[in-house]
Amino acid sequence: MTDASMHDAAPQNRPASLLTADARTRRRKAAETRFRLMGVAAISVGLLALVFLLTSVLGNGFGAFRQTVVEIPITLDEAVLDKSGTRDLEVMKKVTTIGYGKVIQKALEAELANRGIDTSAVKAKDVMGLMSKEAAADLRNMVLADPSLLGQTITFNAFATSRVDGFFKGRVTMESAKLDSNISPEQLQIAQAMHDAGIIETKWNWGFLTMSDSSELRPETAGLGVAILGSAYMMIIVLVLSLPIGVATSIYLEEMAPKNKWTDLIEVNIANLAAVPSIVYGILALALFINFMGLPQSAPIVGGLVLTLMTLPTIIIATRAALKAVPPSIRDAALGVGASKMQSIFHHVLPLAMPGILTGTILGLARALGESAPLLLIGMVAFVKDFPAAPPQGLMQPATALPVQVYQWTQRSDPAFVERASGAIIVLLVFLLLMNAVAIVLRRRFERRW
């Protein structure tokens, strides 16, 4: 180390040897060390926050991917489920889930007696309370889909209620059950006995990704199906609309537009729009797409359009940067060998700028995927149970989105939804990571530097 190159050096104080540092050198070194430490501290704080977030989300959320299932044989009694014996679907539909619930209750009681599990400590209703209320609906749908099952004995899988599920995941304990109005320790003892007998089991639950939302009475059956579908529909709309519009705008502004007051104004506005809070776009969408154009509420098409508006500035800015990064010599060479302006852009400039454009687009899409505020105003923050159909009709049918589902589940009173909200965050994070990874790969593989 030497300060010979420093123009404000003070040579009269220079020590006899270069190997012994004088006060000033030590000060400079100390300053550098302090700066390094500050940098390390800043990164550590960030990392700590990330670790805290990830541990809390992963710790809470992994449970959502596993679910406790009860497996019992059920004899589908013809006399109860199809009194007329005609197998006429319209007549069979008259038997509601309440009727099917009784069939399940009978089968469950028989199976417990068969396995020698003592249920005398609780009421018959409470034994049934171990099973999800969805079970009856599942069985009804199964029978209505295939009436030939009537009269047979089938092995029926149903979810256990969220409290029983929580017991096997450690969220509910005998102590908390004593205070809990939804489950009693006696019920949990029966559940434990069923577990020991092998008719209750906690297993991997694809349903979390494929099933739709559920009411607060049955959190165990809540899934992300509708939300994933809704998010996918919106992303398709955003991609199909914002990429061509954004690229066309950028090419015009970057390559063709004259530099004057108007284009300056447009540029400033695009840069400002990129920073406008997303809720503002929601208000715009409500006024324009729903109230003025009459598009339906809660529909992915409106969500897709509003997210397109929100993503466009991001894509335009990224695309213009990518176009700017292509050296002028490429354009000059193309023009020099007789290409038209259009040919030079589409044959030479755009292909070279493509990796940058795609990276910007994917990052814009990732931001749109995580957006929930504008969806609040267009009715997508809602309880949607039915799956939307395939596009194009499905685009007009109600759906939700992934971040919206997280928001909704955190508001519910049943503690089981906390776990599912964290699970949904994990799914959202995985999608975001995948999109960012694709962006990085594209940049690494195709980007050229001059």
Least separation in angstroms between residue 302's CB and another protein is 10
- For residue 155, the SS3 value is strand
Among 80, 197, 245, 429, binds another protein (CB under 8 A): 245
- Helices 416-446, 162-169: axis angle to 10 degrees equals 70
Among 111, 165, 220, 414, binds another protein (CB under 8 A): 414
Binding segment toward another protein, per CB under 8 A, in 12-20, 362-370, 391-399, 436-444: 391-399
Among 216, 287, 324, 430, binds another protein (CB under 8 A): 216
Q: Which residues make Cβ contacts (< 8 Å) with residue 92, sequence separation at least 6?
A: 81, 82, 143, 144, 147
Q: How far apart are CA 311 and CA 240, in angstroms?
A: 12
Least separation in angstroms between residue 1's CB and another protein is 51
- For residue 78, the SS3 value is helix
Per CB under 8 A, 16 contacts another protein: no
> Contact letters (x/-) for another protein, 322-361, by CB under 8 A?
------------------------x---xx----------
Q: What is the DSSP letter of 387?
A: P
Size of the site for another protein (CB under 8 A): 59
Vertex 102 angle, CA 98 and 106, to 5°: 165
Site for another protein in 133-192 (CB under 8 A): 133, 137, 140, 176-177, 179-182
Least separation in angstroms between residue 197's CB and another protein is 27
Q: Residue 111 or residue 165: which is nearer to another protein going by CB?
A: 165
Q: How far apart are CA 88 and CA 147, in angstroms?
A: 9
Q: How far apart are CA 129 and CA 247, in angstroms?
A: 58
Q: Annotate 418-450 with DSSP letters as a single string.
A: HHHHHHHHHHHHHHHHHHHHHHHHHHHHH----
Among 1, 4, 79, 98, binds another protein (CB under 8 A): 98
Both tokens of residue 93? 């539909």
Neighbours of 2 (CB within 10 A): 9
Q: How far apart are CA 408 and CA 319, in angstroms?
A: 35
Among 396, 429, 432, 438, binds another protein (CB under 8 A): 396
Least separation in angstroms between residue 141's CB and another protein is 8
Judged by the rule CB under 8 A, the positions of this chain that interact with another protein are 93, 96-98, 133, 137, 140, 176-177, 179-182, 214-218, 240-241, 243-245, 247-248, 251, 290-291, 294-298, 301, 346, 350-351, 376, 379, 381-386, 391-393, 395-398, 408, 410-415
